[in-house]
Structure 1
Amino acid sequence: MILSTPDPALDRFFAAALLRLQQEAYRTQAELIGSDRLAALAADEDSLPAWRGRYLVAWEGTQLLGAVAWRPGATVEVDRVMVDPPARRHGVAAALVRVVLDEAGPAPVVTFTGRANAPGIALYRRLGFSPVADEQATSGVWFTRLRRG
């Protein structure tokens, strides 16, 4: 597995591949939580590259296996974690989030996932996150907010 930090705003090929990955990954989360009203599913060729944060992606050759999107700062925000469905359960998400945690150092790290996304919550717990609150988005979808540090 090779890790890289491309910018979808600068590379339209990567942006298209990342959008496909995001849609596939979040369709599964939509099934888990019983709702397709996820912002990640509404992204398009313009809105995805416009998001200003960092991406770390995992490749196997030319195949995009997964990605994590985050914003550095006094509190690091993990915005999205996505893994290609055939690559799930192979440690891709954990490897990507660990790199973000290493870069964050002692800074607190926050994230969220669908409240009914048991695999996602379990991943974050294994990485030292604790649930801090359940919140309902304006779309009606319930999320669990998690924090580490």
Structure 2
Amino acid sequence: MAADLDWLVAVDGGTVLGALGRRDTPDGVEIDRLVVDPAHARRGTGRALVAAVLADAAGRRVTVSTGRDNTPARRLYAQAGFQETGEREVLPGLWVVDAERRA
């Protein structure tokens, strides 16, 4: 809650399947967090949440960062049209990849 994000939540029959935290920026939209319940992973929940953000972005630039070693997340973003723009070490030994999708 302290991160000041807008949340999209995927729910099925009262069960939370996943959630995505996003924020509008002067440059577009930033995806800040994407989490999917492991019991419901690999069933399209993350893909649907990302697609909802892209639809709402209405052609604005959308950015995201994810763990360099998080192959499933990198694949999800690549399939959604994101291009990796670089990587950085945020803490010693912890690397993230930055990506963006333009209109």
Q: CA deviation at 1:116?
A: 0.6
Look up the SS of the partner of 2:91 in the other structure: coil
Q: Mark the runs of 5 or more structure 2 residues left unpaired by the alignment.
A: none
Look up the SS of the partner of 2:77 in the other structure: helix
Answering whether residue 19 of structure 2 is matched by residue 67 of structure 1, we say yes
Could you report, residue by residue, the CA deviation over 1:70-119 in whole angstroms, capped at 9, with x for unpaired residues? 00133210001110001011100000010000111111000011001111
Q: Mark the runs of 5 or more structure 1 residues left unpaired by the alignment.
A: 1-48
Matching residue of 1:25: none
Look up the SS of the partner of 2:55 in the other structure: helix
For 2:55 and 2:43, locate their aligned partners in 1 and report how far apart those are by CA, in whole Å: 20
Cα RMSD (Å) of the superposition? 1.0
Range that drifts further, 108-117 or 66-75: 66-75
Taking structure 2 as the reference length, what is the TM-score of the superposition? 0.93
Answering whether residue 10 of structure 2 is matched by residue 58 of structure 1, we say yes
Decide which structure has greater strand share: 2
Matching residue of 2:86: 133
For 1:132 and 1:139, locate their aligned partners in 2 and report how far apart those are by CA, in whole Å: 21
Letter in 2 for 1:124: Y
For 2:76 and 2:41, locate their aligned partners in 1 and report how far apart those are by CA, in whole Å: 12
Pairing partner for 1:99 from 49, 52, 57: 52
Percent identity of equivalent pairs: 37
For 1:138 and 1:119, locate their aligned partners in 2 and report how far apart those are by CA, in whole Å: 22
Range that drifts further, 131-140 or 90-99: 131-140
Matching residue of 2:35: 82
Letter in 2 for 1:121: R
Matching residue of 2:70: 117
Answering whether residue 64 of structure 2 is matched by residue 108 of structure 1, we say no
For 1:104 and 1:139, locate their aligned partners in 2 and report how far apart those are by CA, in whole Å: 33
For 1:115 and 1:90, locate their aligned partners in 2 and report how far apart those are by CA, in whole Å: 22
**Matched residues, number:** 101
When Rg is computed on C-alpha atoms for both structures, the one with the higher figure is: 1
Taking structure 1 as the reference length, what is the TM-score of the superposition? 0.65
Look up the SS of the partner of 1:90 in the other structure: coil
